[in-house]
Structure 1
Amino acid sequence: MSSIGIVTHQLAHTHHNHIDPKQIWMFPLQFLSIWWIWTLHTLFANRFDTDSRYHRISSLAIMFLMITMTAFLGSDLFENYGLFIGFYAVIQIIIAGLYINSTKALNESKEYASKCGIIIIIGTIIIGASFLFPDPYREITLVLGIFFEMIAFILVSKNKNVPPVHKEHLVERIGLLSIILLGESIISLTTALRDINWDALSVIAAVTGFIMIGLIWWIYYDSFHVMERLKAMKNGFTLIYSHFFLAMGFVILANVIRHAILNDLNQNDFRVLAIVGMCFFYVGKQTIYFKFLPPFRKPIVINTLICVFITVGSTFLPKIEYALIGVTIGMLYYTIGNFKFTLTKDVSRFLD
């Protein structure tokens, strides 16, 4: 998870109270790349994991390569792009090998596993070809290769013979990733407390940031068990893909808290981070419930619109510490509104 830590802190550094446009472009690019590797392995483990020696060795190899690839992430990515893409392609080929090798022990799912392996190989060719293009076309090609795999996985999973995902395992894996990202939020908060000249505003920002993280943790995991029982969720892609935005929201909000404590970011950049981070959180948190639990839809929309309005309005306060308080109040309302208006709805007929 060292790669997650490096990517998480991509938005932590400022230049003359601004976030460099290069950082803004590199953050989602690197986050998408790391998240997709995690997703591919999670999807394989959910349907085809037999705990074989081949799988164990492959998983260890992936972990080793991911740790090594961490050296090429961060601000030096563009200078080390060839090495990064080389390691990335090897990891993808190993995962493709896991899918193809699993066909030996499968009957009805053999064709599906084989197609998944082929999709990853084709995607790897597209991703590897990005090295041939100049900046920024190489990064665009990398993203296109990942998008190809994401869409192709959905298409081949629509076949009736495809086994449904193991819901409990999938939700558990996603919850684990969320815990790691929330942990990075705490790390971001604590590292910001070092060598700081404390005053009333910085103390308020630190306390407010901790409250926000606590509210996120509370509301996210309080309804977490419901996802394991969603009757209509068969392939899990809505859950997985929506959580990409949730994960991005976690990371962005962690940096929002950090910058509010350090007071090292101008108002406009802070406003963009806060609004985007909150919107990503709301979209990622609620998409799965909105799709599969119709009684939740109306309160979800109303609750979200009110919270976004509070967030946007708060970012126009004169100091970013005040803005953080306003954003946290929006999160507090979201938590209370969710308990009072959303979770009180009867959705038993939509659950296993």
Structure 2
Amino acid sequence: MKLRRDIIKPPRLYFEDESEERHSNWLELLFDLIFVAAVSLLASNLNSNYSFTTFLQSIPLFFAIWWGWLGHTIYLSRFGVDDFMHRFYTMAQMIVVAIMAINTKDALGATGPEFAISYAILRFMLVAEYLRAGRIVPEARALTHHYSIGFGIAAGLWGVSAFTPAPWRFLLWGMAIVVDLLTPLTAGKIHQQFPLHPTHLPERFGLLTIILIGEAVVGIVFLIGTLGLTLETGITGLMGFIVAFSIWWGYFEEARGAEARVEEKGEEIGRYQLWLYAHFPLLLGIVATAMGVKHVISHGLGSVLSSSEVWLLCGSLALALTALSFIFLSSFNWHECVSRVLLYFRIPYYILIILVICTGFLGSILPGSLILGLLTLICVVKVILSLREPPEELMCDIY
């Protein structure tokens, strides 16, 4: 009996090639959903206790989850092949992510060691992929060697932290996150020699973003289903939908965050990095805003939220909108037209962001539903402003 030829394929490099389209496959979409489950479990902490303390505690955990997803996604964008070995290896990673997700909810407490060891295993599996790619693709060995060392050290710190008592465990987590961040940032010109695929990675980011926005909408639907559809829940739920739609519009229509992007060399590499890393505050803001909207719905139309809850809701939305602005600016040639774009497009946009933040001052005066109404109105104005056709003299090159 002959085995199929596609059981094992060697890793290969994907360079910028307009003739070769790459799209996310079904396994990558399934992989996304496992990570979204981890995000949902982490967000349940914020749903139970909507406070700045819980929000700040969630940031390093959210970053670890996002960074784990990003590591696998970037590897596939450069070296991925869809063979049976990759599929089984990805399924194994999904099992590890599922274990990590289960331990996410109390990762700062009782399940911290389990979260750390599962995350360490996930990162070591990524290191193994880079080692294999470096062995089979010798021209990329400098890149894979650099990533293997950096990510391996960070994974080792996560592993050691599993056997370290708190609060020293969290110190090791912070060190591991710093090492993880510095690894790609210190790669210099090495990673520029092997650019990421111009269509695959933006599509992957777009899919993760729309899944999280969809999770926000589903959460509102389930909450209204639990409380019962009334005039109160219907009005606040509608406002939550409009806020979610405005973020969707801002990302896919206005900022065009999921469109093809070329990883330019030289100074313009900053645009690509701005686009990539701006997704972290964007996704964090989406999740925190969604929990805030649910908090308003559960309290009813006339209930006044605490000042800190209102500030967190306004700050979360402002964070998402600011990240969207960075993604928008990353699409333009900074040397030629960023000042013109700022003057025509962004100044009104930043005024709206300031208004979102200033809405927090009304938290002790207005009920939560009216606060959400004001934020919804600002989001509607933002969408309307995005419909403007720029004057011809302001047009400039974008991706």
Instruction: Confirm or deny a common fold (TM above 0.5).
Output: yes
**Aligned partner of 2:308 among 254, 266, 269:** 269
What is the deviation of 1:321?
0.3
1:221 aligns with 2:252: yes
Residues 1:342 and 1:280: Cα distance change in structure 2 (over 3 Å): farther
Structure 2, gaps ≥5 residues long: 1-33, 333-337
Identical aligned pairs, as a percentage? 20
What SS does structure 1 have at the residue aligned with 2:388?
helix
Does residue 10 of structure 1 match 2:45? yes
Match for 1:100: what amino acid? L
Q: Distance in 2 between matches of 1:138 and 1:298?
A: 47
After TM superposition, give the deviation of residue 153 of structure 1 in Å.
Answer: 0.8
Q: Are 1:189 and 2:238 counterparts?
A: no
Quick one: distance in 1 between partners of 2:84 and 2:245?
40
What secondary structure sits across from 1:193 in the alignment?
Answer: helix
Q: In the alignment, is residue 323 of structure 1 matched against residue 359 of structure 2?
A: no
- Report what 2:20 is aligned to: none
Q: Is 1:346 the equivalent of 2:395?
A: yes
Q: Secondary structure at the match of 2:175?
A: helix
The aligned counterpart of 1:70 is 101
Matched, 1:251 2:283: no
The runs of 5 or more residues in structure 1 that have no matched partner are none
Q: Return the offset for 1:197.
A: 6.2
Q: Judge conservation of contact 1:36–1:146 (CA < 8 Å) in 2.
A: no
Superposition map of 1:15-30 within 5 A: 19=51, 21=53, 23-30=54-61
Q: Tell me what 1:79 maps to.
A: 110
**Displacement after TM superposition at 1:161 (Å):** 5.8
Q: More helix by proportion, 1 or 2?
A: 1
Contact 1:85 1:128 in 2 (8 A): yes
Instruction: Choose 1 or 2 for highest CA Rg.
Output: 2
Per-residue deviation, 1:55: 2.7
Partner letter of residue 329 of structure 1? Answer: L
Cα distance change on mapping 1:342 and 1:6 into 2, 3 Å? farther
Q: Identify the range of structure 1 (120-129 vs 336-345) with the bigger mean alpha-carbon deviation.
A: 336-345
Deviation string for 1:21-65 (max 9, x for gaps)? 3x3343212211110100100110111112344433321111011
The reply on whether 1:280 has 2:319 as its aligned counterpart is yes
Q: Distance in 2 between matches of 1:299 and 1:243?
A: 24
In 1, Cα distance between the equivalents of 2:391 and 2:297?
Answer: 33
Over the aligned positions, Cα root-mean-square deviation in angstroms equals 2.6
Cα 1:71–1:218 change in 2 (3 A) is: same
Question: For 1:118 and 1:284, how far apart are their aligned partners in 2?
Answer: 31
The aligned residue for residue 337 of structure 1 is 385
Structure-2 change in CA distance of 1:305 and 1:319 (3 Å): same
Whether the 8 Å CA contact 2:252–2:258 is kept in 1: the answer is no
Mapped pair 1:60 → 2:91 = yes
Match in the other structure for 2:157:
126
Tell me how far 1:241 sits from its aligned partner.
1.1
- The one-letter amino acid paired with 2:287 is V
Change (3 A) 1:255 1:299: farther
Q: How big is the shift at 1:240?
A: 2.1
| Residue from 161, 179, 197 that aligns with 1:166 | 197
Aligned to 2:354: 309
TM-score (norm. length: structure 2): 0.79
Residues 7 and 74, structure 1, Cα contact 8 Å, conserved in 2: yes
Pair 1:95 & 2:126 matched: yes
Aligned length: 346
Structure 1 29/161 Cα, relative in aligned 2: closer, same or farther at 3 Å? closer
Residues 241-291 of structure 1: CA deviation (Å, up to 9, x unaligned) = 110011011101111211111117823133222222122212321213324
Cα distance change, pair 226–343 in 1 and its aligned pair in 2 (3 A):
farther
**Structure 1 length-normalised TM:** 0.88
- Summarize deviations over 1:106-133 as a string: whole Å, max 9, x none: 1422211121111110111222233354
